[in-house]
Amino acid sequence: MKILVSLKRVADPDNANKIKVTPQKIETTGLEFKPNPFDEYAVETALRLTENAANTKQRLGEVTVVTFGPKEAESTLRAALATGADKAIRVDATDDALDGDLVARALAKLIETEKPDLVLLGKQEVEGDANQVAQLLAEYLGWPQATFAGSIKSEGDTALLVGREIDGGTMNLRVTLPAVVSVDLRIVAPRSVQSVHTKADHAYPEGVRFAALMAIMAAKKKSLTEVKLTDLTGDVGLKIKYTGFEPPPARKAGVKVKSVSELVEKLKTEAKVL
Amino acid sequence: MPDFFEIARHLTAEEQTVQRTVRAFVDARVLPTIGDHFERGTFPTELIGEIAGLGLLGCNLHGYGCAGLSEVGYGLAMQELERGDSGIRSFASVQGSLVMYPIWAFGSDAQKARYLPKMAAGEIIGCFGLTEPDAGSNPGGMRTVAIDDGDSYVITGTKRWITNGNLAQVALVWAKLGGQDGPVHGFLVPTDSKGFEARLIHKKMSLRASVTSELIMEEVRVPKEAILPNVKGMKGPLSCLTSARFGIAWGVIGAANACFDSALDYAKNRVQFAGKPIASHQLVQAKFAEMLTQISGAQLMALEAARLKEEKKLRPQHVSMIKRNNVRVALDAARVCRDILGGNGITLEYPIMRHLCNLETVSTYEGTHDVHTLILGQDVTGISAFE
């Protein structure tokens, strides 16, 4: 199976206090970046679908990772190559010149030449939380989509059985390939992904895999190509217009109550939870 | 802990990935259980497979299934491991620098082929027998001897404070060949040899999540091919120690980082006097300013030493300086951080006391603070204070 995974780096949420917000923009210089966690889950899913867990060194498919970003974003791709992806593509762009729609249109064009059987994405990135690219991409491609996947069972190169996380439970969808699937947190639970290569009772360690140090060194030699955004789409206009930026309001200090009855009163009248 | 001088800009993409990967591993696998292991006095043997799978064992060696990291990459890996616990880093240091490195540097082709791939894979664990009950800072005073007995050597002696001793399948034992006046040689001794016994050292208050042993050898017979053929004299063990000390000097920065982060988080949230966090108090700020300065300096020194090592210009005296300085910096920082946490600082709910106890050992092993002082004193004056 040939899988294309779109991933993005995001500002490290642990450094949220370093972010400077002006009314015109969010200042990103000096921030540390890490891969968007949901995208890391998508890479892990792609790897699990293209291997026999008993011998992960032998790859039984092809995983291509794609990112949109500046040169520095290549370390995110190299890290994905180190965990087992086969090749990488960076579409040269800066974050403030992108929105979900432009990314989806450019990805659709890229997919015409890459011809994957499956496109995997994180359900959303944790900066803007827009949650748009997978849905728009499926529409532009005219492919079936299954979003918020918490489990995937491969039925070979023709179809996937996807357990979608929805309010109140799981919706099981069978999608025929090629398809677009976005993944949720539980996709990296030990038994969430069942490929045709791995024994059905195999349990992976919880979470995404760690790259072996040797593979990190070897990832230098894997293919990483650069594509210009304008080569993928002539229309680089954005559908999302930002009218202003402001930091979230600081949390207000709490109050101390003198008695239980005062607490109950406040829960009733102020918090309105009783 | 802030990367105050932005040393990340000196790191290659691979080195940054190495650091992030080992950090993520330590967060996910080491930190959740290490406090319990420390309390029970057990080494987390369940992690050996994953540590080896990551390629952390002998990761700066090339070939034989080793990762072939740069010296900076190796340093960062040790730093992130020791952010977890000095015992975990010690396990990797002993395996990589004290056993795999000498086999790689001084061993025969047959020894390299027999041991290195399996040691990188964690299938063979090694320990390093140099220190003895009566030969610590002066290892040249060792009493262990190896007698040539035709087709084999017969080794007799006792080694003490041996990390991994009871985990190991092979012990690299340093012994004087032929008798007390003979030259020092290294011998690869299988720990299941007749006459070889490893005894656990109990009642430790430090490095509790680490196996520390005494090795007792009574006429242990090993074949002739057990000797490391390409090194003779104290240069052998000392070059291993130089390699391991380099990793220690990086590692302790990780321990210091862990203490700093824990104390800073605590100080920002602990409210005393007029409803203000203790981080707003001048005396507490002074502590952080001093620690930030000292730890940043230790990190820069380690980075420079790694660059020198890559240029093949690193002298043992450089390593003495960074081992001596960085361990002291980390130990001082751990004590100050413990103080910032008050009573909470003495529990295993926070990592600080565990690191503080561990660093007392790290300050002593692989050349005590004072011995490195004298090595530097000799380098400056040209006069040895040892004799």
pTM of this structure: 0.89
Chain center to CA of B70: 18
Q: What is the reported pLDDT for A28?
A: 78
Compute the distance between CA of residue B359 and CA of residue B353 in angstroms, rounded to an integer: 10
User: Which contiguous run of DSSP H or E holds residue B269?
Assistant: helix B235-269
For residue A136, give both structure tokens: 């728009």
Instruction: Tell me the chain A residues in contact with residue B16 when contact means C-beta distances shorter than 8 Å.
Output: 75
Which DSSP string corresponds to A32-77?
Answer: -EEE-HHHHHHHHHHHHHTEETTEEEEE-SEEEEEEEE-GGGHHHH
For residue A51, give both structure tokens: 């291997």
A32 band by pLDDT with thresholds 50, 70 and 90: confident
DSSP B30: I
Q: Are B92 and B123 in contact (CB under 8 A)?
A: no
Q: What is the reported pLDDT for A31?
A: 81
pLDDT in tens, B148-171: 999 999 999 999 999 999 999 999
| Residue B98 scores a pLDDT above 90 | yes
Instruction: Tell me which residue in B8, B14, B50 faces A220 most closely, judged by beta carbons.
Output: B14
- Confirm or reject contact between A74 and chain B (CB < 8 A): yes
A253 band by pLDDT with thresholds 50, 70 and 90: confident
A57 band by pLDDT with thresholds 50, 70 and 90: confident
Count Cα atoms within 13 angstroms, Cβ side, for B181: 0
Q: What is the reported pLDDT for A246?
A: 87
What single-letter amino acid sits at A77? Answer: L
Q: What is the mean pLDDT of residues A250-263?
A: 87
Q: Are B240 and B184 in contact (CB under 8 A)?
A: no
**Nearest-CA distance B275 → chain A (Å):** 11
Q: Which contacts qualify for B276-284: CB closer than 8 Å, 24 or more apart?
A: B278/B340, B284/B340
Beta-carbon pairs below 8 A across chains A and B: 54
**Nearest-CA distance B17 → chain A (Å):** 6
Q: Do A75 and B16 touch (CB under 8 A)?
A: yes
- Cβ-based neighbours of A108, under 8 Å, separated by 6 or more: A137, A140, A141
Q: What is the reported pLDDT for B88?
A: 98
| Residue B22 scores a pLDDT above 90 | yes
pLDDT in tens, A183-211: 999 999 999 999 999 998 999 999 999 99
By the 10 Å C-beta count (0-12 exposed, 13-18 middle, 19+ buried), B383 is classed as exposed
Q: What is the mean pLDDT of residues B305-330?
A: 97
Instruction: Tell me which residue in B8, B17, B28 faces A216 most closely, judged by beta carbons.
Output: B17
Q: Do A213 and B67 touch (CB under 8 A)?
A: yes
Instruction: Tell me the chain B residues in contact with residue A220 when contact means C-beta distances shorter than 8 Å.
Output: 14
Q: Do B54 and A210 touch (CB under 8 A)?
A: yes
Q: List the beta bridge partners of residue A159.
A: A176
Whole-number percent of chain B with pLDDT over 90: 97
Look at strands B126-129 and A169-176 and give their pairing. unpaired
Compute the distance between CA of residue B53 and CA of residue A83 in angstroms, rounded to an integer: 12
Q: List the beta bridge partners of residue A193.
A: A152
Average model confidence (pLDDT) across chain B:
96
Angle at B183 between CA B178 and CA B189, to 5 degrees: 70
- Confirm or reject contact between A210 and chain B (CB < 8 A): yes
A249 band by pLDDT with thresholds 50, 70 and 90: confident
For residue A90, give both structure tokens: 């960076």
Q: Are A190 and A177 in contact (CB under 8 A)?
A: no
Q: Which contacts qualify for B370-378: CB closer than 8 Å, 24 or more apart?
A: B371/B137, B372/B320, B372/B321, B372/B323, B372/B324, B373/B324, B375/B316, B375/B317, B375/B320, B376/B317, B376/B320, B376/B321, B376/B324
Place of tokens 């990805």: A107
What single-letter amino acid sits at B91? Answer: F
Q: What is the reported pLDDT for B13?
A: 86
| Residue B93 scores a pLDDT above 80 | yes
Longest alpha-carbon distance in chain B:
81
Instruction: Tell me the chain B residues in contact with residue A78 when contact means C-beta distances shorter than 8 Å.
Output: 13-14, 17
Place of tokens 């080569």: A231
**Nearest-CA distance A75 → chain B (Å):** 6
A274 band by pLDDT with thresholds 50, 70 and 90: confident
Q: Do A214 and B18 touch (CB under 8 A)?
A: no
pLDDT in tens, A90-102: 999 988 899 999 9
Q: What is the reported pLDDT for A247?
A: 83
Q: What is the mean pLDDT of residues B122-144?
A: 96
The CATH number for B235-381, chosen from 3.30.930.10, 2.60.40.3950, 1.20.140.10, 3.40.50.300, is 1.20.140.10
What single-letter amino acid sits at B180? Answer: Q
Residue among B340, B334, B323, B325 nearest B360 (CA): B334
For residue A40, give both structure tokens: 């890391």
Compute the distance between CA of residue B97 and CA of residue B242 in angstroms, rounded to an integer: 9
**Nearest-CA distance B241 → chain A (Å):** 23
Q: What is the mean pLDDT of residues B46-62?
A: 96
| Residue B44 scores a pLDDT above 80 | yes
> Which positions 168-207 of A are in contact with B (Cβ < 8 Å)?
207
Q: What is the reported pLDDT for B292?
A: 98
Catalytic status, residue B225: no
Q: What is the mean pLDDT of residues B121-134?
A: 97
**CATH placement of domain B126-226:** 2.40.110.10
Q: What is the reported pLDDT for A13?
A: 79
pLDDT in tens, B233-288: 999 999 999 999 999 999 999 999 999 999 999 999 999 998 899 999 999 999 99
- Sketch the domain layout of chain B as residue ranges: 7-120, 126-226, 235-381
Catalytically annotated residue among B80, B214, B366, B387: B366
Residue among B70, B94, B68 nearest B81 (CA): B94
Q: Do B14 and A219 touch (CB under 8 A)?
A: yes
Q: What is the mean pLDDT of residues B30-55?
A: 97
For residue B196, give both structure tokens: 């070889």
Q: What is the mean pLDDT of residues B180-197?
A: 97
**Nearest-CA distance B120 → chain A (Å):** 11
Count Cα atoms within 13 angstroms, Cβ side, for A32: 17
Look at strands B170-177 and B184-190 and give their pairing. antiparallel
Residue among B90, B83, B96, B84 nearest B29 (CA): B84
pLDDT in tens, B301-311: 999 999 999 99
| Residue A29 scores a pLDDT above 80 | no
Q: What is the reported pLDDT for B186?
A: 98
Q: Which CATH superfamily is domain A2-243 in?
A: HUPs (3.40.50.620)
Q: Are B237 and B186 in contact (CB under 8 A)?
A: yes
Q: What is the reported pLDDT for B197?
A: 98
Q: What is the reported pLDDT for B276?
A: 94
> Which positions 20-59 of A are in contact with B (Cβ < 8 Å)?
32, 34
| Residue A14 scores a pLDDT above 80 | no
Q: What is the mean pLDDT of residues B29-39?
A: 97
Q: What is the reported pLDDT for A255?
A: 83
Q: What is the mean pLDDT of residues B180-204?
A: 97
Compute the distance between CA of residue B237 and CA of residue B222 in angstroms, rounded to an integer: 20
Least confident of A26-35, A43-52, B135-144: A26-35
Q: How far is CA B303 from CA A190, B12, B227, B261, B292, in A?
A: 39, 13, 35, 21, 16
**CATH placement of domain B7-120:** 1.10.540.10
